[in-house]
Amino acid sequence: MLAWPPKRGRQERAHMKRALITGVTGQDGSYLAELLLSKGYEVHGIIRRASTFNTKRIDHIYQDPNEASTRLFLHHGDLSSSEWILNMVYSYAPDELYHLAAQSHVRVSFDMPEYTGDVTGLGTMRLLEAIRRAGCKTRFYQASSSEMFGSAAPPQSEMTLFQPRSPYAAAKVYAYWMTRIYREGYQLFASNGILFNHESPRRGETFVTRKITRAVAAIVAGKQDHLFLGNLDARRDWGYAPEYVEAIWKMLQRETAEDIVIGTGEAHSVREFVEEAFSYAGLDWRKHVKTSERYMRPLEVDCLIADTRKAREKLDWEARIGFSDLVAIMVDADLEGAGLVPVGRGRAILEKKFSHWNHWQNSVTRVMEAVEGQASQH
C-alpha cells in the first residue's frame, strides 16, 4: 500500500515549495491539499477555531506535527484580523497562497450580508495587503465565483460584465477587483480563478447537489421519504471539484498572473440533476421531491455557462468528468456512506480517469473511515 503522503525528513522540507491554504477543511481546500502533497509541497492550512471538530475532509491525511516526515500543518486563524494575517504571511513566507475560505453559501448570504462581506470580501484584501507589506514573493490565488456574473447572458467569459444578484456575489466582485488592483498597482502575482459550480462527495451537505444525493441514499435506505428544494429551473455549469483544483494549481505555475474562467461549458437544470440522481438509484423523483418557498432566493440567477476557451488555451485544461458521471460519483459515495452497496459506475469512473491521489479508495473510502474513527474516539 502506498504511504500517504510520501515520507520526507525536515532537511528535504527546506527545498520544498511551501503553500498556504485558507479554507483547507472545505471541499476545494481538502482536494488541493492532497494534490499539493502528491507534488511534494509543504502545506500549511488555516482552520477556524471551533468547539467542535471540523476537519473531517482532511482527517485521512492529517499528520502528527511532531513527526519529522510531516508536511501538512494546521493553524488556527481569523481572516477578520489584519494583524494575525500579516504575522502568518511574514512568518511562513509561502511560495503560493491559495485563498479559498469564504462564507460561500449564496442563500445564507442574504441572511448574513455583513458577515459575508467581511469574510468573503475584506478577507481577500487583508491577505493581499499582508503579502504587500511582508515584501515576500508569494503567488496569490483568489477563488472567484461564477455567481459574480449573475444576470449576465450566457455563456460567460473573462470579458463578461459582472451583474451580481446576491451579497455573496457582490463580496466576490469586490475581492476580484482588489486582486486585480494589487496585481496591476503593486505588481503582485495575483490571479483570479472564476470557477463555475464544482461538486464532489465532499461538497457541503446544505448545497443543492449534495442535498440531492444524500436524500437519494437516505430514501434508498428507508430513512427518508421526501426532499424539499427551491428553484428547480435554475441552470448551472456543474463540474467535478478535484479537476478544478488541478486548474487552480496550474494558474500559479504560469509565467504571468491572469484571470481565467474554469467550467465545463455545459449547463443543466436542478431538475435535471434530480432526475439523473434518482433514476441512477432506481427511484422515481416525482414521488419524493417537493418545492418549498423556504429555499427560494430573493433574487435568482437563471443560467450560468462557462466559456472555457481561455482555460484550454492558457492552461491546457479541460474537464474530463461529464454531468452524468459527476452524478454517478456523488450518488455512489453517499450510498456507500449510508452503508449501502453503490451502483458502481461512479467508482469505476474515478479508478479509470484519475491518478492515485483521487482514486475512490483515497478520495471517498479513506475519508469515511477517518470520520468513523474520529467519531469512535470522541
C-alpha cell at 346: 461512479
Q: Is 28 exposed, middle or buried (0-12, 13-18, 19+ CB in 10 A)?
A: buried
Q: Is 279 among the catalytic positions?
A: no
Q: How far apart are CA 244 and CA 238, in angstroms?
A: 11
Catalytic residue among 41, 92, 168, 244: 168
Q: How far apart are CA 246 and CA 36, in angstroms?
A: 9
Residues in contact with 168: Cβ distance below 8 Å, sequence separation at least 6, in sequence order: 102, 103, 104, 105, 106, 108, 109, 116, 120, 145, 147
Q: How far apart are CA 297 and CA 345, in angstroms?
A: 34
Catalytic residue among 96, 147, 272, 275: 147
- Residue 169 in 3-state DSSP? helix
Q: Is 83 exposed, middle or buried (0-12, 13-18, 19+ CB in 10 A)?
A: exposed
Q: How far apart are CA 45 and CA 18, in angstroms?
A: 11
CB 138 within 8 A of CB 190: no
Q: Is 158 among the catalytic positions?
A: no
CB 162 within 8 A of CB 152: yes
Q: Is 145 among the catalytic positions?
A: yes
Catalytic residue among 145, 166, 191, 363: 145
C-alpha cell at 342: 453503490
Counting every residue written for the chain, the total comes to: 378
C-alpha cell at 36: 499539493
- AA letter at 316: D
Q: How far apart are CA 37 and CA 29, in angstroms?
A: 12
Residues in contact with 343: Cβ distance below 8 Å, sequence separation at least 6, in sequence order: 280, 281, 328, 331, 332, 335
Q: How far apart are CA 353 and CA 79, in angstroms?
A: 36
CB 246 within 8 A of CB 317: yes
The sign of the torsion formed by the CA atoms of 329, 308, 306, 247 equals positive
Closest CA to 237 of 313, 139, 327, 303: 303
Q: What are the residue numbers of the active site?
A: 145, 147, 168
